[in-house]
Every structure is written in C-alpha cells, then in structure tokens.
Structure 1
Amino acid sequence: MLKVIFYIKAEKYLNGENPIFSKISYNNKSITLSTGKSISKERWQSTNKLRNVLKIEKEKVLKQSLDLYQLRIEKKFLELYKTDLNVSLIDLKKQIKGKPKLNIKSAGILEIFDKHNLSFKKRVAIGERAPASLQKYNRSKDLVKEFIKNKYNLNDYPVNEINGAFIYNLESFLKYDSKYKYKKGIKNNSVVKYFKNFKTVCNYGIKLELINKNPFDIYDGKITVKDAIYLNQQELDLIENKIFNTERLEKVKDIFLFSCYTGYAPIDACNLTERNLYKDNDGNLWIKTHRTKTSIKANVPVLPPTLRIIEKYRDKQIGLIPKLSNQKMNSYLKEIADVCGIKKNLTWYVARHTFATTITLANGVRIENVSSMLGHTNIKQTQHYAKVLDESVMNDMIKLKNKFL
C-alpha cells in the first residue's frame, strides 16, 4: 500500500535550515517531493523527526503542515486508485503539484501513429533506421485504421478507451478478416509482430505525454518458433560449384554466397562499400558495419570465398557486391534451386541462416561469437539456430560414442 515518509537533506539549505522532503512509495516504486518546509538538523534529530511531544509553537505548526501534506497525498492517491488500481506515481506527483492527469481522450491511436511514423521517417532519411521498418509501421497504422472503421465506423479511437475487448477483437480481425493483396487473414507470427509495433507506437505517445499508459501491455500473443530454413554443406556446394550460362543467375549466385559467408541481411549486404573493409594489426581483413535494422555492431572476418566475390566485382559498382532488389533476388533464387535440385524454399534470407548454422555453429564457432557477427541484440536470438543443428549434435555424439568402443 501507499507509504509516505519525511526526511531532511542535510547537505542543502532553505532559509538557513535543512529542507524537508517526502518519499512516496507504492508497488515497489518511489518518488520524492519537496514539501517546501524546513527545520534545522539538530531539531529534527532531537524531536525524533517531529514524532516526540512538541513544545515549540513553530514546530507544532510545522508538524500540522506535514500531517496535512500527507493527508493531501493520500487523498489524491485514493482519487487515482478509484479509476486505476495500478496508480502511476508520476500521475500522483502531477496531481500533488497541481498538474492534473492529462485528458487523454484527445489522443487517438491513429494520431499517435502519425506522430511516431513522421519521426521515424526522419530517422530513415538520415540512415538511422531502415526504409523497410517504416513500411511496416505504415502498414501497422493502415491495419488499425481499417479495423476501427470496420468495427466502430470511426476515423480514430481514443487510446484511453482501448480495453481488452478492443485488443482481442483487433487480433481476431487481423487473423481472419483483414485483406491485403487479395489475401485474407494474417498468420500468427506476423500478427504478434504487428502488436509489437502497436506497443512501440504507444510507448512513443507516453514519451510525448500524449497518453499515460500503454493499453497494449496486456496483449500476450506469442511467436510460434519454427526451424529456420538453411542450406547444409552439400546443398551449399551444389550452388557454389554450379556454373550458370546466364550472367543474371551467376550474379545472383555470387550475391547469395556473399551473404552465406558473411551472415549479412539483404539490406546490410547491399549497403557495404570499400569503406567497410578493415585490416587489423595481424593483417586479417574484416567487414565492419552496423545492422540497419537495429544499429547493432556486426563485424565479420572476410573468409576466402567472400574475398573472391569482392575481388570479382571490385570497381564495377559502388558497393562490394552488385545491387538487386529483394523481390528479384528471391524470384531468381527459385530458378537456382530448381536447376540445382534443391527442394527447399530458397530466399535471400536463407543465406543468413546458412551462415549461422552450416558456416559457423556447425564448424565449432562459439555461439557468443556467432551472435556478435549476426548483430543480434541478445544470445537468445542466436540459440534458435543452434536448436536445428541435429547433424552437428550427431557428429559430436559419434565422437563420444567412439570413446566407449
């Protein structure tokens, strides 16, 4: 429950005395406020923080003032508690200081989306974030807008009125009723990612003090973890050893292999230039960059196959490798898969998965180092790849088995 204690700051002075502050605690959180009152350190200690029987009139008045101050705090707290059991101490502080809780009815979810996406667009313009991420936020806004129009026939919806019914009706709408490019419904993992975007946008609204709390905090949808598609060594060799008759497919093969041996996502691979190449004190060549998606460092040593591709295309374009759209790459990679007899759904991102599994983890590279090269924000992301390496597990167990023969 709410707890209020008073204390003095002995290192500060107010009217020649030490100022009295209040510490307000609730739900393992606390804030401090100045009471505007003061007392000497000696009198504060000798009266046991004004708890003893007081004889000096000034101290009696001071004690009454602090009692009234505490009563005011408790009254304001109860007012907020009636509308929300999880009282925000920041809101309480504003109430006590005469700054009432913002009327968040004026802030609609689409209004906040507009402000967030405009700010995000500026970050994209200076290279801090990826254009693809902006597209996802714009798509997220369009989905919410479509839902609000479809369900409530409104142009916007007040954030403070978003409740559990709104959120789970929205989830149902996305999964079963939303339409995009002649397709109806969105798969679970994409829905969960959209809700993550909704939550991020509302957190931005909190920072701008447009809203006080995030209604999407109650959403508990989970990503369904699937095994990542990657190429084993035999499949990788099939592509690497294949000579294509057309320059188009040969170029696509090289771009794909470059990502297989560096682990860079398509947008990061295309943005690499000679400036990203770096030779360390031991003469080892590195590619140094930051992931466009997260701005996390992703430095990778240049392996011999990578160097061969870099040398092949050196001075033929601005980047280390030719540029090609993700859409065209994925279309041409399906041709390569057919020609090489590979039955897997080959996309550009399969190259990144192949680097994480076949190139690094399967060859004994420590998972911490793989995580660093992939530019992951935490090692849990990398552990997903480690789970699919049944072949690597079997090889290790065969070695162990031989010791018992």
Structure 2
Amino acid sequence: MRTSKTFSIQFWMDKKKATKGEGFIYARVIVDQKRLSISLKRKLEIDLWDTKNKKFRGSSQKAKEFNRYLDLSKSKLFRCYQELRDNGEEVTSKAIKNLFLNESLNSHTLQELITYHSKKIENTHAIGSIRNFGVTIVYVNRFLKKKRIDDMFLSDLNYKFLCDFENFLNAYYPKGHPKAMSHNTVTKHIQRLRKIVTLAYNLEWIKDDPFRRWKSSFDKVDREFLSDSELSKLANHHFAIDRLDRVRDLFVFSCYTGIAFVDIKNLTKKNVWIGDDEGNKWITTIRQKTNTKIKIPLLFPAEYILSKYEIHPVTQISGTLLPSITNEKANLYLKEIATEVGIEKNLTFHMARHTFATTIALSNGMPIETVSKILGHSKITTTQIYARVMDHKIKSDMDAVQKRLNKKARKFEEENELNFLRERIVEAEKNRYSHLTNEQLIQKLNEILNE
C-alpha cells in the first residue's frame, strides 16, 4: 500500500454555527492535501478562542485543562496515523477519523478522573485518607512529567503504564529521606491508584480494567510495641519539662485504652459515663477512621491520667479531657521522651495502640474478638496483626509443656518399676513350685481357688 506523503493536524472553531456565543472546536486532519474535520465535542466562548495560536486564550486553570485536551487529541490523531502506516493500511483522512472516533468514544482523561474522584471523596472519607490520596496523585503527576506529558486518555491506560509507574516509585527518593520508598509504600500508592481507576471502570469511562491481571502483596512487618518493663519505666518517669510530661500522659493513656491519637483529641466529658459494673468509668466515642462506635472500661492508669487533668488549666480552656497537641508535635516530642527514659525503640504515638493490643490485652488473656471491638476495627483480620507471641508467654507455655512431660516420665518410670516387680514375683513363684509333682500342683491350685 502507498503511504501518505504529507500529514498535518490543525484546530479550528466553527463560528458560523455558534450558539449563545459558543462555538464547537474541530480538528482538521490533512492527508495528501485532502482534509477532513473531526468534532472534538468541546465548545468554547468565541472570545476565548485564540485564532492565531489555535488554542484557549490565557493561562487560567480552565485554559490549561482545555489546551491539555487539545494536545492529547493531537497526540491521539498522530498515533492513529502511525497505526495505519504500521499495519500497512491505506492512510486517508477518513480512515484516521474512523480510527480516532472508535478509540475515543469515551474521551475522558486521567486528570479528569482524578478531579472527579477528589470531589467524590471529599465528604465521604476521613481527612487522613484524602491527604493520602493527594500524595499518590502527586506521584502520578510526577510520573507523567517524567514521560513529558501532563495528561493522557484513559483508553491509553494499560498494564505497561502500571509497570512503569511501579518502577518509577521503586526508584524514587522522596525529599528528606535517605533511601527510596519501601515495597509496602509503593504497593500502597498503587493500591490507591487502583481504586481511582476502578471508579473509571464502574463509570464506564474505560472498557477494560488495566488492573485485572495486576497482583500485589505487602511484606510482613513486625509492629513495635513497648514491653511491660518499658511501659512501666515510661509511666513512672519524672519529666521536668511540662510538654514532655503531657505527651507522655497522652501516650500512656492510649496504651491503656487503645484509643487513637485523633480520637483522644476529641474526647470531652460527654464521652465519660458511669457503668452498672460497681460504678466503674467507661469511655464511649466514635472512631473517626472507621466511623465505628467503641466502648472502653477505664483501667486504673487511664483513669488516674484523666483525674490529673480534670481541673488542669489546659483542659479547662480547650474543654477536652486531655491536653490538645498536633500529631506531628506529639511524635517529635516522643523522640525526646524515648531518649530521656532510655527506650531505644522508634517511639511513635501509633505504637501505643500496638502496646495496648499486645502487652495490655492479648498477653493477659483478653480474647482477640474483644480486642478488635475495643480498637474499633471493622474486620478482625486487622486485629490479627497484633496477635504476636511475647517472650514471657513462650516461657510460661514451655513450662506447662515441661510439667506435662515430667508427669508422663514419672508415670513411665512407675510402670517400668511395677513391671520389674511383677517379673521378680513370677520368677520367685516359679522357683517355689518347681519341685512339686502334677498331683501336688493341682492340689495347691485348688487351695488357692478355695481361698
């Protein structure tokens, strides 16, 4: 087949058929001086169309998005032209139009999807979740920038794009970090992108789900927690600096209740009530992350901390049960606290929940179902990550095994000794009657039976 000698693309506005001051934008495809117009199904105010430069006039956000779409359309038309040539088909403006329209029935773009998803979750997701999605979107845009594009049609989103994005994340060094992202961090970003793309599939913005063959898994991570001795050392330490003392109290309170930092900040007197169990205090609140209601009876250390701040000036002003501080500041001060107390672990506030689940609850015999309820987990599988075996539990279980083994050994020794005595008696009895005749043995047997 003869290939085309000339090929060009131009954009233009049909002002003659404009309605309400808006005209439709077309792409004019010219192949061997034969031209054909393709509607891009986009219209624009006549005054905003730059006739000379063939684009949206100005540098507003709307102009950038519109001009980005023009660039994508131009790139798509060129790929249609290349595809026809590579397949040895006749390259005509009509063939390019047919291929372009067939591939762009739903001409939604990745940036359009991201914007739609962001608006969709702004009133349904927690602030932290929205922030995490925002971080993932930042990395997606950096990846696109590396590919020297600002946007792409969703129809171009394929398995190779996902592989390339994963490789990009694996080699990316976040600012201020000494090393690249961990495998689990990369997996989490791809997991969030998958949720965004799945939305497009459910909206029928794309025909195929590029993630349908994608498989990912998280590496198992040991979550650190404080042991009994470390928690005791931390709780009983005297801090000369008030801010460290307050953050320590918040941390210890979480260790004995399992309440997350964001939920502790929102606790007021309304969250405390007296139960029917001999007047013990309980805390009830709604966990922000999962919107799950949790009810927790207060252990003495937690109740003591609440009483410490009952008339404290800080809580009197804020109206909360405990002092208020940002999560970033709390984690920063916990590093100072760990150094002063002599704890070598990387102390973070979330470690308090791990400590409650492992050191306070599970290791003291609390059923995992109860722990899951207190922590406000929506699935018990989430709680199972805390079900680790501690050293003292291993020692006590091994002691129990040793006792059972000792009991079996003693029983075995007693049975052997008894069998030995039986054999001696039988042997002695043989010697006692070995000299008797048959008649004497029968007579002796009758005597024994009569007895």
TM-score in terms of structure 2 length: 0.62
Amino-acid identity (%) = 36
Which residue in the other structure is 1:263 paired with? Answer: 258
Count of residue pairs the alignment pairs up: 299
Deviation per residue, 1:83-109 (Å, 9 max, x gap): xxxxxxxxxxxxxxxxxx995642222
Q: How far 1:189 moved relative to its partner? A: 0.7
Which residue, 143, 146, 163 being the options, matches 1:150? 146
Which residue in the other structure is 1:281 paired with? Answer: 276
Q: How far 1:219 moved relative to its partner? A: 2.6
Distance 2:319 2:211 in 1: 44
Distance 2:105 2:175 in 1: 32
Whether 1:319 aligns to 2:320 is yes
Which residue in the other structure is 2:182 paired with? Answer: 187
Asked whether the 8 Å contact 1:314–1:320 carries over to 2, the reply is yes
Which residue in the other structure is 2:355 paired with? Answer: 354
Distance 2:212 2:283 in 1: 39
Name the amino acid aligned to 1:147. Answer: F
Q: How far 1:295 moved relative to its partner? A: 1.8
Distance 1:108 1:218 in 2: 22
Name the amino acid aligned to 1:275. Answer: K
Distance 2:105 2:342 in 1: 59
My pick for the range that moved more, 309-318 or 241-250, is 309-318
Which residue in the other structure is 2:379 paired with? Answer: 378
Which residue in the other structure is 1:92 paired with? Answer: none
Name the amino acid aligned to 1:364. Answer: G
Which residue in the other structure is 2:394 paired with? Answer: 393
Whether 1:219 aligns to 2:214 is yes
Distance 1:280 1:237 in 2: 28
Structure 2 unaligned blocks of 5 or more: 1-101, 407-451
Distance 2:296 2:186 in 1: 33
* Structure 1 consecutive aligned stretches of length 4 or more whose deviation exceeds 6 Å: none
Q: How far 1:239 moved relative to its partner? A: 0.5
Per the alignment, in what secondary structure is the counterpart of residue 211 of structure 2? helix
Which residue in the other structure is 1:171 paired with? Answer: 166
Assess, with a 3 A threshold, how the Cα gap between structure 1 residues 169 and 312 changes in structure 2: closer, same or farther: same
Whether 1:136 aligns to 2:146 is no
Which residue in the other structure is 1:69 paired with? Answer: none
Which residue in the other structure is 1:235 paired with? Answer: 230
Q: How far 1:403 moved relative to its partner? A: 4.0
Distance 2:283 2:104 in 1: 51
Assess, with a 3 A threshold, how the Cα gap between structure 1 residues 159 and 394 changes in structure 2: closer, same or farther: farther
Name the amino acid aligned to 1:244. Answer: F
Q: How far 1:365 moved relative to its partner? A: 0.3
Assess, with a 3 A threshold, how the Cα gap between structure 1 residues 367 and 189 changes in structure 2: closer, same or farther: same
Q: How far 1:323 moved relative to its partner? A: 1.3
Which residue in the other structure is 2:195 paired with? Answer: 200
Alignment root-mean-square deviation, CA: 2.2
Whether 1:368 aligns to 2:369 is yes
Per the alignment, in what secondary structure is the counterpart of residue 270 of structure 2? helix
Per the alignment, in what secondary structure is the counterpart of residue 110 of structure 1? helix
Name the amino acid aligned to 1:280. Answer: G
